[in-house]
Structure 1
Amino acid sequence: MCGRFLLLLLLLPPLPRAAGTVCGCCAGPLHNGSAVGRYCASRADAEPRGRCCVAGSPHAGRVVGLDLSNCSLRSLPPGLPEAAAAVVVDLTENPLAALPNASFRGFTRLRSLAVPLSLECPGGSGAWEQVTTLGSSRLCQRQRNPCNSSEELAWLCPENARCAPDGPGLSQCLCAGPFHGYKCLREGAFPGLLFCGVLGAVTAALSLLLWSTQRRQAEAP
C-alpha cells in the first residue's frame, strides 16, 4: 500500500519550495578561518555549501556545521531546524535579542555553539560542560545529558518510556519497544502499513488540491 502511494506522489508535480534555506539565508560563503570552516576542513566527507558545512551525498547531505556570524540577524532564521544535525554553530556578531528556550530542540549532536556575549547559552550554563567568553562572544561547549543530571526527569516519563536528550537543556520521552502510541500504552508492532496508507492518502489529496489550484490561477486571464 505504501508503495502505491509513493508511486502516485512521484508522478505528481513537485510542491513549490520556500525560497532559500538556512544555508543561503545569509550572503557570502563559509568563512575558512571560522570555527565552522576549520571543522569542515577537518572532515573528509564534508564540503562548504553557502554558510553551511554539509556531509554526505550532494542531494541527501546533512548540515554538520552552520556559520551565521555577522549576518545582521535580530532573530533566528525560520529554517534553523534544517541544521538539527549540526555539530558546530556560530551566531556571533549578530544583534540577536534573545534565544527562546526551545530554539535548539532536536540539536542533540551540537557540541560547540558560539553566541553574542549579551546572550546566555541555550538551556543555561548548566546545560553545557564548559562555557567560556572570548572578546564579544560566548562559547558553549559539549552538551550535558539532562536525563543523567536529574532523576526528576525520569519520573515525568510514562511507565513504558525512557528519558532522552532533545537539545541543550531539553529532554523527551521515547517509548521503549514494543510499546507505542499515546503515553506508550499500546503494545505490539506499530501499524506501519495503516499509517503509510493514511499519510499517503492525505499527502496525495493535498498535492492534487494544490496542483489544481495553481493550474486554475495560471489559466486565469
Structure 2
Amino acid sequence: MAARLLLLLLLPLLPRAAGTVCGCCPGPLGNGSAVGRYCAGRAGAEPRGRCCLAGGAQPGRIVGLDLSNCSLRSLPPGLPEAAGAIVLDLTENPLATLPNSSFRGFTRLQSLAVPPWLQCPGGSGAWQQDTTHGSRRLCRGQRNPCNSSGELAWLCPENALCAPDGPGLSQCLCASPWRGYKCLREGAFPVLLFGGVLGTVAAALSLLLWSTQRRKAKTP
C-alpha cells in the first residue's frame, strides 16, 4: 500500500516515454518527406512510426515528427511529447486553427510546415522565414522573442530573466540564486527537506489507510 501511494504521488514527476504521438497516425516515416530526409542525414537518428528519434547522448528524444496527411482537424493531445522536435510537418490536414499555446516549450523547433491557410504560430515575426509554396506554408528559423524587443524583459520581475518558450512565447526564469514566487527567495531549493516532507506525508497516509482498512477487516 505504501509503495502504491508513493508511486501515485511521484507519477506526475516521472518522464513519459515517447511513442504515443509517434503512432497517432498510420504508416511509417516517409523517406521522401522533410522529416525523413532530416532523419536520414542526422547521425545516430532512427525512425519510429511517424517520429525521428535522436541517438548518441540523447537517445529516444523526438527530433522530427511527420504528421502530414493524417486527417487531423485539431492537434493531437500527445503533441507535447515532441517538444524537443527540430523539424515538424503538419501539412495535408484539415486543421482549422493552430493555437500558439500548443507549441509552448518547442524552443528547438526550426522548421515547421503547415497548411497554407494557416499562419505560422506566433506570427511571421516569430520566424526568420515565412513562405508559402503550393500546398504548404513553411516557417523556418525560430526567433528568440527575448532578443526581438526590450519590452519583454520589463515584463519579468526583479531577479528574473526572460527565456524563450516556443514560437512567439517567452517565460520568466529566476536568476541564480533566487527562487520562489516572483523570485523573492534567495538560496538553493531545499531538495532534502522537500524529499523528507514528501516521504513523511506518504508514510503517514499509508499508516492511516492501513489502520483504517485493518479496523474494517476486524469488524464482523
**Smaller-chain TM-score bracket:** 0.7 to 0.9
> For 2:200 and 2:119, how far apart are their aligned partners in 1?
45
Give the corresponding residue for 1:136. Answer: 135
Query: What is the TM-score normalised by the length of structure 2?
Result: 0.81
Identity within the alignment, % = 81
Give the corresponding residue for 1:146. Answer: 145
Aligned positions of 1:167-206 closer than 5 A: 167-198=166-197
> For 1:39 and 1:154, how far apart are their aligned partners in 2?
35
Could you say which structure has the larger radius of gyration? 2
Give the corresponding residue for 1:106. Answer: 105
Which secondary structure does the structure 2 equivalent of 1:78 belong to? coil
- Indicate whether 1:55 and 2:17 are aligned: no
Number of equivalences: 194
Give the corresponding residue for 2:214. Answer: none
> For 1:187 and 1:23, how far apart are their aligned partners in 2?
42
* Partner deviation per Cα, 1:182-208 (whole Å, 9 max, x = no partner): 1111001111123334556778979xx
Give the corresponding residue for 1:213. Answer: none
Deviation at 1:60, TM superposition (A): 5.2
Superposition RMSD in Å: 2.7
Give the corresponding residue for 1:28. Answer: 27
* Partner deviation per Cα, 1:58-107 (whole Å, 9 max, x = no partner): x9510000000000000000000000000000000000010112110000
Q: Which runs of 4+ in 1 moved over 3 A?
A: 196-206
Which secondary structure does the structure 2 equivalent of 1:103 belong to? helix
Give the corresponding residue for 1:166. Answer: 165
Give the corresponding residue for 1:120. Answer: 119
List alignment gaps of at least 5 residues for structure 2: 8-13, 210-220
* Partner deviation per Cα, 1:23-77 (whole Å, 9 max, x = no partner): 00000000110110000001112100000000137x9510000000000000000
For residue 133 of structure 2, what is the amino acid of its counterpart?
L
Give the corresponding residue for 2:218. Answer: none
- Indicate whether 1:37 and 2:30 are aligned: no
